[in-house]
């Protein structure tokens, strides 16, 4: 990672009896886009507000651009933190046109910056329009331009696409990432959407109950989660019991390779794309039900010991509920094993 532009050092925040953030540590490098993901109420928005200066912290330090902005005896107000924010509701000024919204926070001597960021987000020519005259995607671009205009050290994005329908959301998301990369901006993106977090972030920070469970590259967090919570939060995962000997685990699905050596009982994580099923009258599993997912069909399969697993097949070749099937693994890498509960 490049030099950190944003540092959270043991940051704690409590609201009476509720601990929203508990000794949180995080470093975000220059030009990096960090995706913060977690269930509702886990503390991710509180963390963003603390970084922005909209919420005080009880202990710890927050450093932005090498300068302490919150900590023991220190509280720099939001307008002096060199931070840009794209709020969930965008918070555009309805009485100001596009240029006026973007100009907010830009020094008088920097007015040419307005044109630069409007060109960057693809809104040149719309300077005189008001927010109500823009589409949802255009409004989001205005909010992003306003956040980038003062050349902040860090841009914070709090669920910025939640107000958009799915198709537009994906389009605007891709454009936003392109703009942030073009501006070489350091960004922190908060979302509850796991797929969105993995698609957007250079790294993903998975939060639960005010703490980060894992901070890693998306592919690492997905394929090598540190615990069951991360495994199931970042995608569908089933766990097959077995006995480990070295880096192999003997299970009802055969001997499976795992990433860590050991002995004794454990549970191996398997995702639906790592399992294949084939119709077989003598097969060990039975398809309970199916879910149509467009290009693929998810099959819920029950095994003789009562274990339920999920497997994907192409939509052109589904297996009907009630069909007996043979189950096998399709692996391109060792699997992760967790200690048995």
pLDDT tier, 1 (very low <50, low <70, confident <90, very high otherwise): low
178-181: long-range pairs with CB below 8 Å, 24+: 179/120, 179/121, 179/141, 179/144, 179/148, 180/33, 180/155, 181/33
Write out pLDDT tens, residues 149-191.
999 999 999 988 877 787 788 888 898 899 999 889 999 999 9
CATH superfamily membership of 4-233: P-loop containing nucleotide triphosphate hydrolases (3.40.50.300)
Kindly report, residue by residue over 38-85, the tens digit of the pLDDT: 999 999 999 999 999 999 999 999 999 999 999 999 999 999 999 999
pLDDT at 107 over 80: no
Residue ranges, comma separated, of all CATH 2.40.50.140 domains in the chain are 260-339
Share of the chain above pLDDT 70, in %: 99
C-beta separation of 311 from 275 below 8 A = yes
146: closest CA among 80, 100, 79?
100
What kind and span of H or E run contains 198?
helix 194-200
CATH code 3.40.50.300 region(s) in the chain? 4-233
Q: 260-339 falls under which CATH superfamily?
A: Nucleic acid-binding proteins (2.40.50.140)
Residue 220, φ and ψ in degrees, nearest 5 = -70, -45
């Amino acid at each position: 990672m490049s030099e950190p532009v944003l540092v959270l050092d043991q940051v704690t925040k409590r609201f009476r009896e509720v601990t929203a953030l508990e000794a949180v540590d995080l470093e975000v490098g220059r030009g990096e886009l960090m995706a913060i993901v977690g269930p509702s109420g886990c503390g991710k928005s509180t963390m963003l507000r603390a970084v922005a200066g909209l919420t005080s912290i009880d202990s710890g330090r927050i450093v932005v651009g090498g300068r302490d902005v919150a900590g023991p005896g220190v509280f720099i107000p939001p307008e002096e933190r060199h931070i840009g924010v794209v709020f969930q509701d965008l918070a555009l000024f309805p009485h100001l046109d596009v240029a006026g919204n973007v100009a907010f926070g830009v020094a008088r001597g920097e007015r040419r910056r307005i044109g630069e960021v409007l060109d960057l987000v693809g809104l040149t020519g719309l300077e005189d329009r008001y927010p109500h005259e823009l589409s949802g995607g255009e409004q989001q671009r205005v909010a992003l331009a306003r956040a980038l205009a003062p050349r902040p050290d860090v841009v914070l994005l709090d669920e910025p696409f939640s107000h958009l329908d799915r198709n537009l959301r994906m389009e605007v998301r891709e454009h936003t990432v392109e703009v942030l990369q073009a501006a070489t901006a350091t960004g922190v993106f908060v979302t509850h959407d796991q797929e969105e977090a993995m698609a957007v972030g250079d790294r993903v920070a998975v939060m639960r109950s005010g703490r980060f469970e894992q901070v890693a590259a998306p592919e690492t967090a997905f394929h090598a989660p540190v615990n069951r919570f991360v495994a199931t939060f970042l995608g569908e995962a089933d766990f097959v019991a077995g006995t480990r000997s070295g880096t192999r685990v003997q299970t009802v699905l055969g001997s499976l390779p795992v990433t860590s050596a050991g002995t004794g009982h454990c549970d191996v994580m398997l995702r639906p794309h790592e399992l294949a099923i084939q119709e077989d009258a003598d097969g060990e599993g039975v398809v309970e039900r199916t879910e149509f997912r467009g290009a693929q069909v998810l099959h819920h399969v029950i095994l003789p010991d009562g274990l339920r697993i999920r497997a994907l097949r192409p939509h052109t070749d589904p297996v009907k509920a009630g069909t007996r099937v043979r189950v096998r693994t399709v692996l391109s890498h060792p699997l992760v094993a967790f200690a048995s509960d």
